[in-house]
Amino acid sequence: MGNIKILPENIANQIAAGEVIQRPSSALKETLENSIDSGAKNISVYIKKAGKTYLQISDDGCGMSKDDVKKCFKRHATSKINKINDLFKIKTMGFRGEALASIASIAQVEITTKRKTDILGVKILIENGKIKEINDCTSTNGTSIKIKNLFYNVPARRNFLKSDQIEFRHISKEFVIFSLANPEICVKLYHNNSEIYYLEKSNLRQRIVNILGRNKNEMLVPIKEKTSLVELNGFIGKPETAKKTRGEQYIFVNKRYIRHRNINKIIQQSYEELIAKNYIPSYFINLEIPTNLIDINIHPTKTEIKFENENAVIAIIGSTIKHALGKYNIAPSIDFSQEISFNLPYKKEKEKILKEPKIKIDKNYNPFENQDEKIPKQKIIYESSELDNKDLIKSFASPIIIKKKFIVFQSTDEELLIIHKKRAHKRILFEYFQKNIENKTATTQKLLFEKKILLNKEDIKLILELEKDLNLIGFSLKKIEENCISINSVPAECNDENVQETIENILEQFKNEKKITTNRNKKIAISLADSMSISNSKNMTKEEMIKLKISLMNCNFPSVCPRGKKAVFKLNYNDLEKYFNVSK
């Protein structure tokens, strides 16, 4: 007898489910897509314990017949595909018939459904992929699916689920994506009997504002373009709203959320010279593309896509965004090839009154003033008992600065020490903050005026989860509005100017974390070090450079910054001889 066996159907279904249903949010995504395909205009989502024990999606869509509801739980049962060419004409969200079969194989499922033309609805109970009960029942029009005890029969998979906070964050993210893709649908989300979102039918701008906060409205720049390849519309954020953290970047193709590195790249490039390096703009972009020009059947979660004319589509996106930035006077738009005299208006418009331009003069401007003084002062924190030894400081030879980035010391007659000053300062700050957090010795400075920081709902939830840890390092904060927190105190080492950046850096450390309880202190210390380290452009005195070196050498791990990048390089005299091929 051979070794190869055919797996039982229930085991095969559970294995296949792992590709489609990875966590409660995956089940939510798949069932929401079914609700869209049913033509629903109102969808309600009820969650308990982050979807681990209970997840219900109710809609007012077309509903199903008794025969259809029996078939829909079988693998590859679909009404969308009859022949292979239909794969390239897909206009619906679901089409492979995997979602319900996968969910039914790893959870206890109950569906109540009714068509508008039927007097009674149908109620069906499924467990371990098998129908346990099916009956007629009274029901409203549409479908309600209840998913209980996800992965109850696959304990190994259930053990991989994260904390309720993490799992609900994934659910909330999936719900927001769905809501932005379908603003014409009224959607509601409840968790543990509390209302999280109640989003009425609206346009895209209003939906963005309802999710991310009122302050977002004036920061949105509309974009629109129509070509034979793609119809593009949506909104991009003004440059001043760009952040170091991700979270407000959404691309939809035919209402399907996708991730696409090259599209993200062209959007980033469109903001070149308008936003600082490493900052990310917000965007909410819809692409309508003929279905025969794309392939969405390349990944089980359908979040990846192939374009037949990718380069052309990407070029259209980039030019549309640049045009929008110029049109709304955000980026300069000058065409030097045009003859200005031909563009003079021949008719004065009634509604526009020409006014004499006013010239503003800055009386305090002094061209001979040292411009370095206008740069916000940065505090350089050192951590070493040797720094008080003035004789030791004087004994050092003057270091050499290279391109304001590297400091070169002659440590001995046989060796040169080259320090990356920003990374070195990060290492010093990191160990300094980590020690303060562990010993609870952080010093605090009270702000003269409270600092208001605008964040989206997910960031607000996350920052409140971290509130106790932030108190330990000197932050005092409270939620004052749905999308706003106020900060009254900050660590003594923190500058007033970079409080927002510091908070965003801390949030970035914990976004999409598998377990928020892991290495909290370390991650917060890294964030603070990133935010408060000196810039490469800062001029340093000889004394500051020497103190930096001494502090770095007294660190536990002086050779690298907290993120593992090299901070120190030693150049040996013997290496120089080898380089120049000099014999001893």
**pLDDT tens digits for range 145-184:** 999 999 888 888 888 888 888 899 899 999 999 999 999 9
What per-residue confidence (pLDDT) applies to 494?
A: 78
Burial class (CB in 10 A: 0-12, 13-18, 19+), 517: exposed
What per-residue confidence (pLDDT) applies to 453?
A: 83
% the chain with pLDDT above 90: 26
Identify whether the C-beta of residue 122 lies closer than 8 Å to the C-beta of residue 114: yes
What per-residue confidence (pLDDT) applies to 245?
A: 74
Whole-number average pLDDT of the chain = 79
SS (H, E, C) 183-217: CCCEEEEEECCEEEEEECCCCHHHHHHHHHCHHHH
**Rounded distance between C-alpha atoms, residue 61 and residue 42, angstroms:** 8
**Rounded distance between C-alpha atoms, residue 189 and residue 555, angstroms:** 49
SS (H, E, C) 216-261: HHHHEEEEEEECCCCEEEEEEECHHHCECCCCCEEEEECCEEECCH
β-bridge pairing 186-191 and 42-48: parallel
Using CA atoms of 512, 485, 495, 405 in order, give the dihedral in degrees to the nearest 10.
Answer: 20
What per-residue confidence (pLDDT) applies to 231?
A: 93
What per-residue confidence (pLDDT) applies to 563?
A: 83
Number of Cβ within 10 Å of residue 139's Cβ equals 18
Strand order in the sheet with 415-420: 400-402, 406-412, 415-420, 568-572
% the chain with pLDDT above 70: 77
* pLDDT > 50? residue 471: yes
Mean predicted confidence (pLDDT) in 371-378: 46
* pLDDT > 70? residue 19: no
Return the DSSP state at 535.
Answer: P
* pLDDT > 60? residue 334: no
Highest mean pLDDT among 72-81, 184-193, 275-284: 184-193
What per-residue confidence (pLDDT) applies to 298?
A: 54
Confidence tier at 348 by pLDDT (50, 70, 90): very low
What per-residue confidence (pLDDT) applies to 50?
A: 92
**pLDDT tens digits for range 236-249:** 998 888 887 777 89
Number of Cβ within 10 Å of residue 293's Cβ equals 15
Distances in whole angstroms, Cα of residue 171 to Cα of each of 32, 176, 303, 375: 12, 9, 16, 43
123 against 565, higher pLDDT: 123
What φ, ψ does residue 571 adopt, rounded to 5°? Answer: -110, 110
What per-residue confidence (pLDDT) applies to 175?
A: 95
Least confident of 45-54, 305-314, 418-427, 500-509: 500-509
**Rounded distance between C-alpha atoms, residue 18 and residue 300, angstroms:** 10
Ramachandran bin of 577, using left for φ above 0, alpha for ψ from -120 to 50, beta for the remaining angles: alpha
**pLDDT tens digits for range 49-85:** 999 999 999 999 999 888 888 887 776 555 554 444 5
263 against 356, higher pLDDT: 263
What per-residue confidence (pLDDT) applies to 360?
A: 54
pTM assigned to the model: 0.66
1 against 196, higher pLDDT: 196
Confidence tier at 386 by pLDDT (50, 70, 90): low
130 against 335, higher pLDDT: 130
SS (H, E, C) 270-302: HCCCCCCCCCECCEEEEEECCHHHEECCCCCCC
Give the chain's end-to-end CA distance (angstroms, integer).
75
What is the CA angle 250-252-255, rounded to 5? 135
What per-residue confidence (pLDDT) applies to 336?
A: 39
Confidence tier at 346 by pLDDT (50, 70, 90): very low
Give every CB contact of residue 62 below 8 A, 6+ residues apart in sequence: 38, 39, 115, 116, 142
Least confident of 401-405, 468-472, 497-501: 497-501
* pLDDT > 60? residue 502: yes
* pLDDT > 80? residue 125: yes
Element (H, E) at 320: helix 310-327
**Rounded distance between C-alpha atoms, residue 196 and residue 209, angstroms:** 15
At 103 the three-state DSSP class reads helix
β-partners of residue 401 are 407
Identify whether the C-beta of residue 445 lies closer than 8 Å to the C-beta of residue 473: no
Residue 568 corresponds to which tokens in the numbers above?
A: 């120190």
What per-residue confidence (pLDDT) applies to 545?
A: 86
What per-residue confidence (pLDDT) applies to 416?
A: 83
Q: Which long-range contacts (CB under 8 A, 24 or more apart) does 225-231 make?
A: 225/316, 225/320, 225/323, 227/316, 229/289, 229/293, 229/309, 229/312, 229/313, 229/316, 230/287, 230/288, 230/289, 230/313, 230/316, 230/317, 231/287, 231/288, 231/289
393 against 227, higher pLDDT: 227
Mean predicted confidence (pLDDT) in 517-529: 78
* pLDDT > 70? residue 583: no
Burial class (CB in 10 A: 0-12, 13-18, 19+), 521: middle
84 against 114, higher pLDDT: 114
184 against 20, higher pLDDT: 184
User: Where do the domains of the chain lie, and which CATH numbers do they carry?
Assistant: 9-201 (3.30.565.10), 206-327 (3.30.230.10), 385-570 (3.30.1370.100)
Among residues 243, 173, 171, 235, which one has the least CA distance to residue 209? 235
Identify whether the C-beta of residue 416 lies closer than 8 Å to the C-beta of residue 409: yes
Mean predicted confidence (pLDDT) in 248-256: 91
What per-residue confidence (pLDDT) applies to 60?
A: 94
What per-residue confidence (pLDDT) applies to 390?
A: 57
Residue 191 corresponds to which tokens in the numbers above?
A: 């968790």
Residue 386 corresponds to which tokens in the numbers above?
A: 């040797």
Give every CB contact of residue 283 below 8 A, 6+ residues apart in sequence: 234, 235, 236, 237, 248, 249, 250, 251, 267, 321
Element (H, E) at 23: none
What per-residue confidence (pLDDT) applies to 120?
A: 93
